[in-house]
Chain A
Amino acid sequence: MSQEDKLKSKIQAGEIVVSGVSKEYGANQFAKEVVKDCSFTIERGKLTVMIGPSGCGKSTLIRLLAGFEHPTAGTISINGKPVTGPARDRLVLFQETALFPWMTTYDNILYGPRARGEVTKETLELAEFLLSKVGLQEFRKKYPTQLSGGMQRRAELARAMINNPEVMILDEPFRGLDAMTKELMWEYYSALYEENRRTNFFVTTDIDEAIFLADRLFIMSNIPTRVRAVLEVDVPRPRRLLDIVENDRSNEIKMEALSILHEEAMKSFSRGSKAAADFVEAYSKRVAKT
């Protein structure tokens, strides 16, 4: 069996159900409710993208899903089992690069299996396969600071995939990359997803990124966080950047998503959010152009 097939045969796509989750910070009269009565399902084997205005509590939601924090009310479960803490069935890629700077690329990728004491001949083969998959064979002995931004993100994808997680959770992973690298990473990441159809949950503030990647799109309302709308992005795969730009269906979904986001931004604008004001301005220009 080829490495490709071995990897595929092991994939178990998980399902995450979030029901009635609320999260408050602080206590009593100082309590601030960031997430309120939030319910949604991240479906098995789909790439779900969550988009919302900045500061809408998406990162809080990620920390809850990852198990670093616990909800004040409601439950989160993966494959029917409640989430109690961080575990390798849900791997999270955070905004900031979290490759360990004191380990080489290769040691970073193998960190998960080594920590759990699960290094077998098969794992080492898989590591080789993933290294070539993300194009970093030549860089196996380099330390993270010797890699470019795009390479670091690819190394992190490999470090996550070697653990064969049931759900991959990505919190704005391509933020801070330059425009060119970012677009290459979209194509790259979406090709990886198309190959092995794991459950992916991807959080972003970039509408183009969201439409390009998503099977389903969650549009979030502003604080307190809730799913405001769910759009099915029924654009065929594999997707290529040029096709998507010219695809009518995807542009239609984009306009629909933008108008919902606009409403949300208007609401927070009225509450005095600077980010929302910027968004409203940018959106008005965009609509005027089309």
Chain B
Amino acid sequence: MLEILKKTMPFQVVSDTMLRRIAELGKRVAYDKAAIIYDAGDSAGDIYIILSGKVEHTLEPGVNARRPVQLLGAGDVFGWAALLEKFPHRLAKAVAIEPAEIVRINGDDLLRLLESDPDSGDVVMSRFATMITRDYTVPDLIAQMRAIHRKLHSSDIQGMNLTMYRLSLWLKSPRPYLMLIGFGLFLSFWYLAVEVWKLPRFREMPGLTVVIKEWLNPDPSYGLSIYTAEYYQHILVSIWRVTQAFVLASLLGVPLGLFLGWSRKFKEYVFPVFETLRPIPILAWVPLAIVMFISTESAVIYLTFLASFFATALNTMLGVESIDESYVRAAYCLGAKRHQVFRHIIIPGALPFIFTGLQISIGVSWFSLVAAEMVSGQYGLGYVINTSYTMVRYPTIVIGMITLGFVGYVTSAMVRILGDYLMQWRVRELALGGQ
């Protein structure tokens, strides 16, 4: 029986253990020549797999099958109405036209079994659906299969749950462990190159153990570790500056980008100026920023803001330009006004690009923040790095750098999570493979 099952179209792909469990559900029944196995309208409980003999399968006219009559032999599966969503009754008549030996499997039992392994269960059900539409030429409206109820079905989850679901998938995949190995390799190279091999150029650098000792020291030799309040003050000041600059850059950059992409005329006025200012490095702005703003604090925020603003606006504009013309046309056709097209098509359509822009923007803002803090300012991670350099506190420089990297990574992950949350449709498209 197992061999026959393995050859049938729906069960070809399941594992041998699964196949054995399916076979356990089956009951062998022998039918004489001309025995009616079932008739149209009977209630549908079992599906049938032919072991030997021949069966004539006639779909009733109401089904609109293009090939209503089929001759079935060993390895063929019929009686699939037991698995259909809307039809608890037989849609066909099945008659043994020579003595036949047939395996019957209860549809509910089969479904329950498939639920225990939803992944291969889905494959079996979708193979059933294909078989019904293709081999039996039944319209796909009818061939909708009963669903496999799984505890956590990706397409039913919304919002935060979807993010949690993806996190649990991530933890189950090898990716986090590869990441840990990557960090491990990097740190051991640092350790070996500086402290063991003492390679040229690396020799003078603060070593891994020195940095860690200083970082975790309740009484740090250079005055900065996780036990000093100052450390957190620097972090908070930097985060607060980046937040202000990032929010400002997004509030101004996104609308500017949207209008640049939306109105050709507006773009012609503004874009050349925009493109001339964009490549100017932040450091070149420093003198002007100090002249423009009386307080150093607003000068620092202004410098941090600039690069983010350009990144956000440019990506938003590209996002609007990337929108398929057919969506805009369809909206106009359906009676939308110009402002509605802007709200319903342009903004959501540009959202993927906007969030790419925001991720770049938050990265760049850390970048320029440090440049700005090195020039002026009293606190902040950039300030820590710069003053430690002038005061020859090399381990503290590295502490500042690592902290920057970590905080920067967390903020950019937050932007990405927010983006995924707002673009469920796209998360499905990309991450769940259209599930």
Cβ A100 vs Cβ B336 within 8 A: no
Chain A interface (Cβ within 8 Å of chain B)? Answer: 66, 68, 85-88, 90-92, 94, 96, 98, 100-103, 111-112, 115-116, 135, 138, 142-143, 145-146, 150, 159, 163, 180-181, 184, 187-188, 241-242
Residues from chain A with a CB closer than 8 A to the CB of B428 are 143, 145-146
Chain B: residues with Cβ within 8 Å of the partner, total of 35
26 A-B Cβ contacts within 8 A? A66-B333, A68-B329, A85-B332, A86-B329, A86-B333, A88-B334, A91-B334, A92-B329, A98-B329, A100-B327, A100-B331, A100-B345, A101-B426, A102-B351, A111-B336, A111-B344, A115-B335, A115-B336, A135-B140, A138-B144, A143-B425, A145-B429, A145-B434, A146-B434, A150-B140, A184-B139
Within 8 A of A (CB), among B313-344: 324, 326-327, 329-337, 340, 344
Residue in B139, B324, B327, B331 whose beta carbon sits within 8 Å of that of A115 in the complex? B331
Cβ A87 vs Cβ B335 within 8 A: yes
A-B contact count (CB 8 A): 92
Cβ A101 vs Cβ B429 within 8 A: yes
Q: A86-B332, A142-B155, A184-B139 are in contact. Are A115 and B340 (CB under 8 A)?
A: yes
Q: A86-B329, A102-B423, A242-B66 are in contact. Are A96 and B144 (CB under 8 A)?
A: no
Q: A92-B329, A143-B429 are in contact. Are A115 and B140 (CB under 8 A)?
A: no
Cβ A102 vs Cβ B329 within 8 A: no
Chain B interface (Cβ within 8 Å of chain A)? Answer: 66, 85, 133-134, 139-141, 144, 155, 324, 326-327, 329-337, 340, 344-345, 348-349, 351, 423-426, 428-429, 434-435
Cβ B335 vs Cβ A241 within 8 A: no
CA distance in complex: A143, B348 (Å): 14
CA distance in complex: A125, B66 (Å): 33
CA distance in complex: A86, B349 (Å): 21
Residue in A115, A150, A241 whose beta carbon sits within 8 Å of that of B344 in the complex? A115
Q: How far is the CB of A170 from chain B (nearest CB, A)?
A: 12
What residue of chain B has the Cβ atom nearest to residue A116's Cβ? B335
Besides A92-B333, A101-B429, 15 more A-B contacts (Cβ < 8 Å) are A66-B333, A68-B332, A88-B335, A91-B333, A94-B329, A102-B426, A111-B334, A115-B331, A115-B340, A116-B336, A143-B429, A145-B428, A146-B155, A187-B139, A188-B139
CA distance in complex: A242, B65 (Å): 11
Cβ B435 vs Cβ A146 within 8 A: yes
What residue of chain A has the Cβ atom nearest to residue B332's Cβ? A86
Residues from chain B with a CB closer than 8 A to the CB of A135 are 140-141, 144
Residues from chain A with a CB closer than 8 A to the CB of B133 are 180
